[in-house]
Amino acid sequence: MADTAVQGMTGAEAIIGTLAECGVTACFANPGTSEMHLVTALDREPRIRSVLCLFEGVATGAADGFARMAGVPALTLLHLGPGYLNGGANIHNARRAYSPVINLIGDHAVTHRAYDAPLASDIAGLAKPNSIWLQSVDNVADAGRLAAEAFSATYGPPPGPVSLIMPADTAWTKGGSIVRDARRAALKPPSASAIEEAAKAIRKAKKPALLVNGTGLHAGGLAALARIKASGVGVFSDTFMARHSRGGGRFAPDRLPYFAEMAIETLAGTDLLLIAGTKKPVAFFAYPNTPAEFTPRDAAVITLGGPESDSAAGLAMLADALGAPAAPTSVPWSRPEPPRDDAFNPFTIGLALAAHTPEGALVSDDGVTAGLPIYLCMQAAAPHEWLGHTGGAIGQGMPVAVGAAFARPDVKTICLAGDGAGMYTVQSLWTMARENLDILTIVFVNNAYRILTIELARTGAGNPGPTANSMLSLGSPEIDWVKLAEGMGVSGEACSTLPQFNDALSRAMAHRGPRLIACLIPGS
């Protein structure tokens, strides 16, 4: 790396200038007193566009969504340990999505640490579990170098969130310098020997299956998946994926079910499981008398590469090694007609959405119980990108939509949100309005944590009484999503029938800018 010293440059200016030189273009921020010199440094750096978020969980989720679509790190600006903790759930999700994110965390001045001020905390200890790299800039001379290292570290492989702690006195002290020529590591190439071993094993297996995630689910990997499927291999995606190209007649792998019993049944009889771009499948939670691992005990397992690998490249090599026929370059597809007189539920909502979704749309899924039927229906939609819920911490959908729309302002972004999940990061609506982002947010209003009602029965916790039921209900008082949206500058409307929903979708797709549709579907 080549250092370029600038006379009178502060540590804050060195950090921000270096990140701009590296190629960072977006900062999602919720700053405080310790970050004021970073704020003014951003003010003087036109290459990085700063976006104010009213809650840190919005900022960190937006950085995740931006990174998924842009393929380069986004920056967050967070205030001390509590600010980092407020954003922690979506940092967890970003780590599970293998998204390159730089969390720039302000800290008390080095000279102030000894006083144990009210906001003091062990930031490094808090940030370490969800950081693939972590450093504190305690010396202004190191500011540019550590910023460049942080940028490089986000690429892994596998990629992921990093944390750079910036004490206030380092930020305001002069003597910093900009560092250029940061390294950008690529995903690891496939192993030719592993591919050959897999091809031989497939030919011998009675019921081989492939579990895929990562680049294998991007547009460039789908043709290879179709070829492998045609060779007699069952092809499955992980239950949740960071980015999946879907629709428009493109090949669609089967999605591994979320519920453990269904996933075990899906893979039953498999005698060879190939892993590409992911890990061996396991249950989200432990359940009484249910295995935690989904792979049959007597099945052989061959890993073509984990999350650190370019699964699309490996799958193309495997298809060639199998001598699989070339996949057709195009498959006939036409836009489906929307349902009009059926019951109003997640399935028919999905069919209507498939009919109205414009080509190239981005779909951020935090729909929880409503998400699966819509996912299935949306395979009939125009080509789109599905941004899944990788880490399981709800409250991801709206923030990821913010970041994705920021990265791709040329296409419509659609957010699917459960009403319980949406309330975790409802402040996202304000940022959508402030930035005039082209996002349609669809909230499924069943006035309950529906997924927990299901899980209560599956865990064998017993029949719920009044206290348990009250902790799973959102109906007293009912949340008025239209008023919430309008209070934050987003036009909103409520629907309880398919004709109403189709009309609302027509208006939303014809309109550029943020809108919200509340789907009133009690009991679903």
- Report pLDDT for 424: 96
pLDDT digits (tens, 9 = 90+) for 23-63: 999 999 999 999 999 999 999 999 999 999 999 999 999 99
pLDDT class for 199, splitting at 50, 70, 90?
Answer: very high
Q: How far apart are CA 466 and CA 509, in angstroms?
A: 43
Helix axes 88-97, 56-70, angle to 10 degrees: 20
- Report pLDDT for 2: 46
Q: What is the mean pLDDT of residues 126-138?
A: 98
Q: How far apart are CA 293 and CA 33, in angstroms?
A: 47
8 A C-beta contact, residue 240 and residue 97:
no
Q: Which domains does the chain have, with CATH numbers?
A: 2-180 (3.40.50.970), 192-321 (3.40.50.1220), 346-520 (3.40.50.970)
**Strands across the sheet with 413-418, in order?**
244-246, 384-387, 361-366, 413-418, 439-445, 515-520, 491-495
Rg (CA), the chain: 24
- Report pLDDT for 468: 66
pLDDT digits (tens, 9 = 90+) for 211-265: 999 999 999 999 999 999 999 999 999 999 999 999 999 999 999 999 899 999 9
- Report pLDDT for 451: 62
Closest CA to 504 of 443, 446, 453, 455: 443
The token pair at 485 is: 């949206």
* 460 conformational bin, left if phi > 0, alpha if psi -120 to 50, beta if neither: left
- Report pLDDT for 8: 77
Q: Is the pLDDT reported for residue 210 higher than 90? A: yes
DSSP 8-state class, residue 190: P
- Report pLDDT for 331: 80
pLDDT class for 326, splitting at 50, 70, 90?
Answer: confident
pLDDT class for 296, splitting at 50, 70, 90?
Answer: very high
Closest CA to 137 of 109, 165, 114: 165
pLDDT class for 1, splitting at 50, 70, 90?
Answer: very low
pLDDT digits (tens, 9 = 90+) for 446-504: 876 556 666 656 666 667 777 766 666 677 788 999 999 999 999 999 999 999 999 99
- Report pLDDT for 287: 84
Q: What is the mean pLDDT of residues 399-415?
A: 98
pLDDT class for 522, splitting at 50, 70, 90?
Answer: confident
pLDDT digits (tens, 9 = 90+) for 346-396: 999 999 999 999 999 999 999 988 889 999 999 999 999 999 999 999 999
- Peptide bond preceding 46: is omega within 30 degrees of 0, i.e. cis? no
pLDDT class for 286, splitting at 50, 70, 90?
Answer: confident
Residue 224: in which H helix or E strand, if any?
helix 219-230
- Report pLDDT for 328: 74
Express as a percent the part of the chain with pLDDT over 70: 94
Closest CA to 430 of 97, 12, 58, 36: 58
Specify the pTM. 0.94
